[in-house]
Amino acid sequence: MNATRQDAWTQDEDIILAETVLRYIREGKTQLEAFKEVAKQLSRTSAACGFRWNASIRKQYQDAIDFAKEERKQGGRQKSWNYTETRPMQEDDPINTAILLLEKMRTNFTSESQLSQQEEKEAVNNLKKENEILKEQLKRYEEAWREMGNLWNWVKENKM
């Protein structure tokens, strides 16, 4: 009898685990932190996530792990990665797995680009505010300089 365990890992859960761990590696965070995040998402323990990663999934994603480490070292300057090599080599439905992975990548990419655009807008606004403050300070310094010049001229005129 070949009964499936009630708590068996699904292919989708494996992909979530792998993508999260790879993201944490790219960002320079620890795998333990990734296991904690996945544990919350999947209602599992971080130990279970760590065991699943080390016992089953890590081998299938070795090229992606190496790439993520290299990308982290270079500060994210790598242009692209062939994610078809990172999908699990399971017989169930490789096309469905690829679709799920691509959808997850698209979602992550969209949220990251929106975040960077928002951060860019905030930086521009902060620079504008700082520029206005500096202009005001410059006006005050120029006025003080003018006053000192007037005072100097008055002292020279009244001394003689």
In a domain, 150, yes or no: no
pLDDT at 121: 80
pLDDT at 122: 82
| Number of domains, the chain | 1
**The two three-digit tokens of residue 6, written as one number:** 């009630």
Which comes out higher in pLDDT, residue 105 or 53? 53
Question: Which domain covers residue 51, as residue numbers?
Answer: 9-82
In a domain, 65, yes or no: yes
Q: State how far the alpha carbon of 40 is from the alpha carbons of 36, 43, 45, 100, 103, in Å.
A: 6, 5, 8, 20, 21
In a domain, 41, yes or no: yes
In a domain, 14, yes or no: yes
In a domain, 143, yes or no: no
In a domain, 90, yes or no: no
| Structure confidence by residue, pLDDT tens digits, 48-79 | 999 999 998 888 888 888 888 888 887 755 44
pLDDT at 55: 92
Euclidean distance between the first and final Cα of the chain, in Å?
116
pTM: 0.47
